[in-house]
Structure 1
């Protein structure tokens, strides 16, 4: 399985450092993620603990899919669902605790790639909790079995776990079949299509457990709020909307704690994040930008080193109560630069302006002060210093935007209060 060695061009890195980056940067980061995942799949296959014939069959299917339809196969193999599985099974192999079901999931990956590429195939996939999961497609309940035969024929997927073949395309609304549902919004050139993944068995790893299958009514609430959120982004920050649409692939709904909305991005996964349903469309819009900022920077850090990993010092970050390493501070600064920019733009949105004014004042002050900490550090690499310089230029533009005196004073008081509480908790 041939892969490409990636370097991030200086102009794209510069654009990303200026907080956004655009569609070209999102596509470049997705290409790099695909290359990374192909390398990890190849490593997994080299270390395959099962029969060689089993491994060779999977290799042949993956190569056939990539030859027949490179873009379609890449869409599957570079997906966050496949990335999450690779991370989990690779760690399990390193620790000597890989289960056959996790290893055998590569058969489901191969079936999904062949289906996307229009290649006929036959392979084995695991049955977990009575169901077969096909990444990017859905989950089929098949009953008690350890594995199932998955056939791809003329574009159709057929699953047989020993109880007779089940043609997925003929199931319709059969309750055994849980397809991966899509959130859709926008029209014209700024459309968004995101999977709302409540079926994949490897969708965990966030600070909250993934939600079980959403009811039709729950899914509709997500769709309605997403439609409103996307309209806000498309109308008020179209450049950010375009890069989100180009790079974000899926959302994982998380179980709420009953107190506050939450969201998180997993460092090694690009194009997906987990969240509880935000309270408002504006919050949803900002969360899309916030978490995609994290995803972009994590993908950049796969390609370039921005800080010294040996630096063990800890720093104040106004969005966290715990001391943060420099790399964590950089993640926060970068994410909140996007947050500040989005709230800045949403000051022009009906019904949002007053809240957006204060959120903008708060976020830009957090970025300014935390970026100053980064700039004064001696633990940034030369590339990291260049990155910080471009981010400072962007931040200075945010600081030049006028805000009301009342909002500025509240932002300063809020920042000072957080800092004092942090000092009390983290200094002897």
Structure 2
């Protein structure tokens, strides 16, 4: 006889309706909350399993109090203030810590500190929950190089000499102290503010009409990194104010142009790890273990930040979905081309990128519709709809997809497919196509290795004066290698983004030299001086015929002037042109220019 319904275990389930809605960007707030609750349950189980396993090897606990004490303190806090404990469990870095420490324990290794320090972080989690619940308590927490972290609240700083030690946290009636080796830090009443010996976790709040956004800027939690614990990196006060302004601007843009997403994002994205600005790069990253968090570099403007937040939110949602449903069979092979990475990707990474940039394309599409005069929005929409569709088409035929995975991609395609035919300003579309061709050709030159026998046959035919190649270039079946052959420069794409930037972007002649890796030929190409660009790339190849960016740049510049066999070869099979020219350089005392080999091979490359 089955147990009564009240006694049966409850499971987190995802309906096909919700699954399809997430695929199409139609998720709502309630769906996002259910996804977050599933993550919270997963973490609770993971922590319980971690502490149970750790208790079996008490010699690994070092000077820590019993782990049962942390569990009991969490239970007390939950009885008093369940929402506080729920917030601690949904803190993204609780997930990062639990996953990282479980792997250490399973492998019997220490990580970046003794294992007991990582295990002891559960006492810090329990102490933070107890403070939030306003309990009377006393416990000990780890101290890393003088830093005692209370997750999601802040960090006490001590002048410790030992790299790893313990501090005592105690308090009553909402007044709490942290003591270590004769020093005491009194926690301020407003924990997010700074005080003597205390750094609080800053909170940024933005309200747009009925929409409320709240993000922690966490520069303190040791488990906020992507792979392993990292030290605190306090963001200067001036940069915090810049973050506040940019977050407010980004939230307003999302609320105005994607109002449905604005209702969902605050549920799934609660914390940012702020990083310094990197010139011409919108750096961001996230991990499935830290549901709710993204590592983000300081952007230049609110639109850039809005696109980045949407990108990372998409990663977060997909990470949560993958904890509930299998979309693909395990396959770590780095074998798939995606237009946003310079290296081959496994299917898991490619799928993550498709979903993330689908969201980015939706954002720029909305901005382009709202402001038809924005060259930037038109270009970015044209670019990301093309990039995400290119990768999606490749993934839909992949044999490692499950039935659910194919259904998920079909849902994305239902929205993304029709966008390919939407009218976009002609110049923006042309530039987006050039960027796509540029990157694909550069990837081919660096990651594909032609058959040596074909290369030798072509080189011999050239040396024997054959007017046409004996074999047609067939670039379709070459498997990629993750080890790149040469470096790649994204300077042309950076310059094009400067060209299409909406005012008040600085004039390109004043700033192009600040673009990393940019050459005079790149500047000429980006500004439409194609004859000058051709001569510039010819000169670059005369100096270094192996440089991938120069090979592809010459192909782009020649193509921009009209049909040309060398352009066809350099853009469709640059790896073959490069390999044949290398062979000739190794066997002939006076090898021809790369362009001549490209024009010869290009006779048999379809236009």
Measured against the shorter chain, the TM-score band is: over 0.9
Most deviating of 211-220 and 399-408: 399-408
1:10-55, CA deviations, whole angstroms, 9 ceiling, x for partnerless residues?
A: 2211111113412123212211111111111101110224379712
Q: Partner residue of 2:35?
A: 29
Q: Partner residue of 1:327?
A: 348
Aligned partners of 1:351 and 1:386: how far apart in 2? 34
1:282-339, CA deviations, whole angstroms, 9 ceiling, x for partnerless residues?
A: 1000000001111111111111111121474711111111111222111111011000
Q: Is the 8 A contact 2:385 2:416 kept in 1?
A: yes
Aligned partners of 1:95 and 1:182: how far apart in 2? 37
Q: Is the 8 A contact 1:12 1:21 kept in 2?
A: yes
Distance 1:359 1:10, change over 3 A: same
Most deviating of 345-354 and 135-144: 345-354
Most deviating of 352-361 and 104-113: 352-361
Give the alignment partner of residue 83 of structure 2, picking from 67, 71, 94.
71
Distance 1:322 1:332, change over 3 A: same
Q: Partner residue of 1:7?
A: 13
Runs of 4+ in 1 over 3 A off after TM superposition: 2-5, 49-53, 170-173, 206-211, 255-259, 310-313, 348-352
Most deviating of 183-192 and 169-178: 169-178
Name the structure, 1 or 2, with higher relative contact order (CA <8 Å, separation 6+).
1
After TM superposition, the structure 1 = structure 2 runs for residues 299-314 of structure 1, keeping only pairs within 5 Å, are: 299-310=320-331, 312=333, 314=335
Q: 1:268: Cα distance to partner? A: 1.9
Q: Is the 8 A contact 1:311 1:379 kept in 2?
A: no
Most deviating of 251-260 and 13-22: 251-260
Aligned partners of 1:143 and 1:393: how far apart in 2? 58
Most deviating of 307-316 and 116-125: 307-316
Paired residue secondary structure (1:307): coil
Aligned partners of 2:291 and 2:124: how far apart in 1? 21
1:151 aligns with 2:158: no
Q: Is the 8 A contact 2:94 2:290 kept in 1?
A: no
1:110 aligns with 2:110: no
Aligned partners of 1:216 and 1:3: how far apart in 2? 48
Q: Partner residue of 1:419?
A: 440
After TM superposition, the structure 1 = structure 2 runs for residues 84-103 of structure 1, keeping only pairs within 5 Å, are: 84-98=96-110, 99=114, 100-103=116-119
Q: Partner residue of 1:205?
A: 226
Paired residue secondary structure (1:166): strand
Q: Is the 8 A contact 2:221 2:232 kept in 1?
A: no
Distance 1:400 1:173, change over 3 A: same
Paired residue secondary structure (1:74): helix
Q: Partner residue of 2:142?
A: 126
Aligned partners of 1:41 and 1:352: how far apart in 2? 52
CA-based RMSD: 2.5
Most deviating of 417-426 and 305-314: 305-314
Aligned partners of 2:138 and 2:372: how far apart in 1? 54
Q: Partner residue of 2:24?
A: 18
After TM superposition, the structure 1 = structure 2 runs for residues 29-428 of structure 1, keeping only pairs within 5 Å, are: 29-48=35-54, 49-50=57-58, 54-98=66-110, 99=114, 100-144=116-160, 146-163=165-182, 165-169=184-188, 173-205=194-226, 212-258=233-279, 260-310=281-331, 312=333, 314-348=335-369, 353-428=374-449
Q: 1:197: Cα distance to partner? A: 0.6
Aligned partners of 1:216 and 1:351: how far apart in 2? 37
Paired residue secondary structure (2:219): coil
Most deviating of 258-267 and 286-295: 258-267
Q: Is the 8 A contact 2:271 2:293 kept in 1?
A: yes
Paired residue secondary structure (1:5): coil
Aligned partners of 2:267 and 2:331: how far apart in 1? 34
Uncovered stretches (5+) of structure 2, i.e. residues with no partner: 1-7, 450-607
Aligned partners of 2:230 and 2:66: how far apart in 1? 33
Q: Is the 8 A contact 2:277 2:299 kept in 1?
A: no
Aligned partners of 1:258 and 1:188: how far apart in 2? 33
Q: Is the 8 A contact 2:137 2:172 kept in 1?
A: yes
Aligned partners of 1:211 and 1:409: how far apart in 2? 45
TM-score normalised by structure 2 residue count: 0.66
Q: 1:278: Cα distance to partner? A: 0.9
Q: Is the 8 A contact 2:156 2:185 kept in 1?
A: no
1:216-240, CA deviations, whole angstroms, 9 ceiling, x for partnerless residues?
A: 1111111111111111111111111
Max Rg structure: 2
Q: Is the 8 A contact 1:251 1:274 kept in 2?
A: yes
Uncovered stretches (5+) of structure 1, i.e. residues with no partner: none
